[in-house]
Structures are given as C-alpha cells and as structure tokens.
C-alpha cells in the first residue's frame, strides 16, 4: 500500500490553518480507525441533546497534534496525539458509567483490543515504529500527564470547549494563553523529559480559574453528569436484554444510539425519554433516582519561575483554597434526583 502523500490541512478554530506533511501522520490520518472518530462526539450523549456541542473526537485529536506541533514536539509525538483517542468507544466516557470506573479509563484499558485489529499496527511497522509504543499516550510527556498537570490533550479540550462548544471565554483569550505556554525541559514525575508550563503568573491564574469554571458548568455539571448517568442506565438495560453487546461499543455514536432507540423495551425507553434539555438533576441523598460517579477535572498550572516549574497553588493561596474546595465538593458518588419541567 502506497502512502497518500497529499498533505493534511486543517482550518482549526483554535490554532488556525495547520498543514501536516509527514508521511507517518498522513498514513495514520487515512486509517479507518482514525476516521471513525468523525462519528464519535467529544461530548458523548450531550451532543445529541445539545447540537451545539458538535465537536468530534477527530477534531480534538487533530487539535492535540496541532498544539504539540506548536510546542515543538517531534513528528512521532504528533502522530501519538492523532491516535490518542482512537480507543474511545461510542459515547466516549458514558462507558465509564456503564461499567463503573473511578478513573474513567475504560478506553485506555481496552486500547490494545481496539487497535490491534486495525490498520494502525501495519502502518507503524511500515514506518519502523512499534505501534504499542506510539499508541500509548503515557510514553509522551507533552501529550499526556496526570491531573493536575498540563498536557496537550487536556489543554486542547479546554480551549476547544471553552471557545467553540460552550463559550465560557473568547478566542482572543485562548490566543493569549497559547502565547504564554512553553516547554520546561526538566524530567517530569513519570521520568519523561519535557513539561508544559505557563511563563506568566496572571496567565496561569486565568487558566486555573477558567478550567474550574468550565468543569463546573460543563464536564462535571450536575446536568451533564445526570445525562451521562441516564444514558448509562439505558445502555445497561440494553445489555441485560441482549439488545446490544459490549462489542457494539466499538462502533459509532449514531449506530449504537439507533440500536437502543429501535428497541421495543420499556426498560430502555423510560431512560431515553429523559434525554432532553428540559430534564435537569439535583444531588439529593434523601430521594435519589440514580447514582453517578463523575470525574472531576481541575488543573494546578506549573508556572515557570527562575528556571523552575512551581505549581500555581504554591504561589497563590486563594487559588490553592479554591482548587482544593472545588475538588472536595465534586468528588465521590452523587445521588441524583431527576427534575423535569414543572417538577
């Protein structure tokens, strides 16, 4: 099979026009496993309820690769950025509610299962690379870091959701932050060289506070967590009734959704009927209708200061208190009561 040598050009709302010319990247981009991500929404079930949340996993992966290029990452790490979400199932992190997983890592635990039957291993071999190495984001320090550190994956979904899908800040704000990101070349906690840091204290404060705000109104809002939990109940019922199998999660959002919507099963339909904008939720230990275990996302941006990377929380006591209180208030299993219009 010959490499398709036409460059990959993206017109990205965050990074502008970006052209990828590396044969490895071009080959991987055209792989069916990567193109499948055009049919996987970044926002999971929320995208079917709020069409404005229409960013796809492929758009995010291309954005991650673009940010890695901006930060000076080598072509292999950029390729790893393109691949990092290929293992995601239909409806993405909803699967972590279906098969409860405190760390929300179902896609990472099943990474090899999702990839080894695709074209990706052969493409990597053709370019002299180990596909297991390239597809494991933890091998790349700029691509992936544990919370509360910064990484290209985390920064892209923050910038993309904040400016495009949710609108909690402007494109100009995003550009201002990008101008203050740089790479500190010291060895990180996982033994890998390179760490994304912020070179300005005010920019770090803005990032830390805006990340918490976006998590609160979007990724870890009670409504979004509630919708994920409701969709998980519908999917669990479909699994129990044999309408779907776990293997079906390797397909696309729309295909899986159609399977369960077509099922003549009240145990499924009662949950699907709640996937509406006018359905909300409240945390209510006394009268719960269902339970959810959300993932809390908050960063503590490292600030480059006198040649060292210093966590913002060590420089700003008010931020440290806010960060700690926010995480404490969101952690743990949530008992949710369902609210509908007129309730």
DSSP 91-117: TGGGHHHHTT-TT--HHHHTHHHHHTT
pLDDT tens-digit readout, 257-274: 999 999 999 999 999 999
- Pair (156, 36) in one structural domain: yes
pLDDT band at 343 (very low <50, low <70, confident <90, very high): very low
- Pair (268, 160) in one structural domain: no
- Pair (209, 131) in one structural domain: yes
- Pair (107, 208) in one structural domain: yes
- Answer whether residue 2 shows pLDDT above 80: no
- Answer whether residue 207 shows pLDDT above 60: yes
How high is the pLDDT of residue 254? 97
Q: Is residue 66 part of a domain?
A: yes
Question: Dihedral sign, CA of 169, 175, 179, 182?
Answer: positive
Residues 315 and 170: their CA atoms lie apart, in Å, by 26
| % of the chain with per-residue pLDDT over 90 | 87
Cβ within 8 Å of residue 278, ≥6 positions away: 340, 341
Q: Is residue 40 part of a domain?
A: yes
Neighbours of 140 (CB within 10 A): 26
- Pair (18, 46) in one structural domain: yes
pLDDT tens-digit readout, 313-342: 999 999 999 999 999 999 999 999 999 875
- Pair (215, 106) in one structural domain: yes
Residues 143 and 131: their CA atoms lie apart, in Å, by 16
pLDDT band at 103 (very low <50, low <70, confident <90, very high): low
pLDDT tens-digit readout, 24-62: 999 999 999 999 999 999 999 999 999 999 999 999 999
pLDDT band at 190 (very low <50, low <70, confident <90, very high): very low
- Answer whether residue 3 shows pLDDT above 60: no
Residues 114 and 92: their CA atoms lie apart, in Å, by 13
- Answer whether residue 192 shows pLDDT above 60: no
- Pair (136, 265) in one structural domain: no
Q: Is residue 1 part of a domain?
A: no
Strand order in the sheet with 193-198: 181-187, 193-198, 302-305, 308-311
pLDDT band at 99 (very low <50, low <70, confident <90, very high): confident
pLDDT tens-digit readout, 271-297: 999 999 999 999 999 999 999 999 999
Residue 122: give the domain boundaries.
8-221+296-334
pLDDT tens-digit readout, 69-91: 999 999 999 999 999 999 999 99
Q: What is the mean pLDDT of residues 202-218?
A: 98
Structural domains in the chain (count) = 2
Residues 222 and 335: their CA atoms lie apart, in Å, by 10
Cβ proximity of 334 and 323 under 8 Å = no
Token code pair at residue 5: 């040598």
- Answer whether residue 1 shows pLDDT above 50: no
Q: Which range (107-111, 202-206, 221-225) has the least confidence?
A: 107-111
- Pair (34, 139) in one structural domain: yes
- Pair (134, 146) in one structural domain: yes
Cβ proximity of 265 and 240 under 8 Å = no
How high is the pLDDT of residue 101? 62
Mean residue pLDDT across the chain: 93
- Pair (163, 41) in one structural domain: yes
Residues 116 and 130: their CA atoms lie apart, in Å, by 12
- Pair (167, 59) in one structural domain: yes
- Pair (158, 289) in one structural domain: no
Q: Is residue 85 part of a domain?
A: yes
Q: Is residue 86 part of a domain?
A: yes
Q: Please tell me the number of Cα atoms within 13 Å of 109 on its side-chain side.
A: 10
Cβ proximity of 68 and 81 under 8 Å = yes
How high is the pLDDT of residue 111? 81
Task: Please report, for the domain that includes residue 64, its CATH number.
Answer: 1.10.3210.10
pTM reported for the whole predicted model = 0.94
Among residues 335, 293, 330, 288, the alpha carbon closest in space to that of 97 is found at 293
How high is the pLDDT of residue 220? 97
At CB < 8 A and 24+ separation, what contacts does 115-121 make? 115/33, 115/86, 115/87, 118/31, 118/32, 118/33, 118/86, 119/31, 119/32, 119/33, 120/28, 120/31, 120/33, 120/34, 120/83, 120/86
Q: Please name the residue that has the structure tokens 């770090």.
A: 204
How high is the pLDDT of residue 114? 84
- Answer whether residue 189 shows pLDDT above 60: no
Token code pair at residue 165: 């899908």
- Answer whether residue 128 shows pLDDT above 80: yes
Q: Is residue 153 part of a domain?
A: yes
Q: Is residue 266 part of a domain?
A: yes
Backbone angles phi, psi at 284, to 5 degrees: -145, 95
């Amino acid at each position: 099979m010959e490499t398709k040598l036409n460059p990959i050009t993206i017109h990205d709302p965050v990074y502008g026009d970006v052209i990828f010319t590396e044969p490895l990247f071009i080959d991987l981009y055209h792989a069916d496993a990567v193109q499948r991500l055009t049919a996987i929404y970044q926002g999971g079930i929320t995208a079917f309820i709020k069409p404005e949340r229409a960013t796809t996993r492929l758009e995010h992966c291309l954005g991650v690769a673009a940010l890695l290029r901006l930060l000076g990452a080598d072509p292999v790490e950029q390729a790893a950025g393109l691949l990092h979400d290929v293992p995601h199932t239909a409806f993405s992190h909803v699967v972590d509610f279906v098969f409860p997983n405190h760390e929300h890592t179902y896609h990472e635990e099943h990474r090899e299962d999702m990839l080894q039957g695709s074209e990706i291993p052969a493409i990597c071999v053709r370019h002299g690379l180990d596909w297991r190495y390239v597809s494991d984001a933890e091998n790349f320090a700029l691509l992936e870091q544990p919370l509360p550190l910064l990484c290209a994956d985390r920064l892209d979904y923050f910038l993309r959701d904040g400016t495009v899908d949710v609108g909690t800040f402007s494109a100009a704000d995003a550009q201002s932050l990008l101008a203050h990101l740089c790479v500190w070349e010291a060895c990180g906690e996982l033994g890998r060289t390179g760490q994304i840091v912020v070179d300005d204290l005010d920019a770090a404060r803005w990032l830390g506070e805006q990340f918490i705000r976006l998590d609160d109104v979007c990724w870890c809002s009670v409504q979004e967590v509630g919708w994920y939990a409701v969709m998980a109940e519908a999917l669990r019922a479909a699994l129990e009734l044999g309408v779907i199998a776990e293997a079906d999660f390797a397909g696309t959002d729309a295909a899986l959704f159609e399977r369960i919507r077509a099922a003549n099963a009240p145990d499924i339909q009662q949950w699907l009927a709640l996937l509406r904008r006018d359905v909300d939720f409240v945390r209510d230990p006394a009268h719960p209708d269902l339970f959810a275990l959300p993932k809390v996302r908050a960063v503590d941006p490292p600030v480059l200061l006198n040649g060292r990377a210093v966590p913002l929380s060590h420089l700003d006591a008010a931020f440290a208190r806010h960060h700690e209180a926010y995480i404490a208030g969101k952690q743990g299993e949530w008992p949710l009561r369902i609210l509908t219009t007129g309730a």
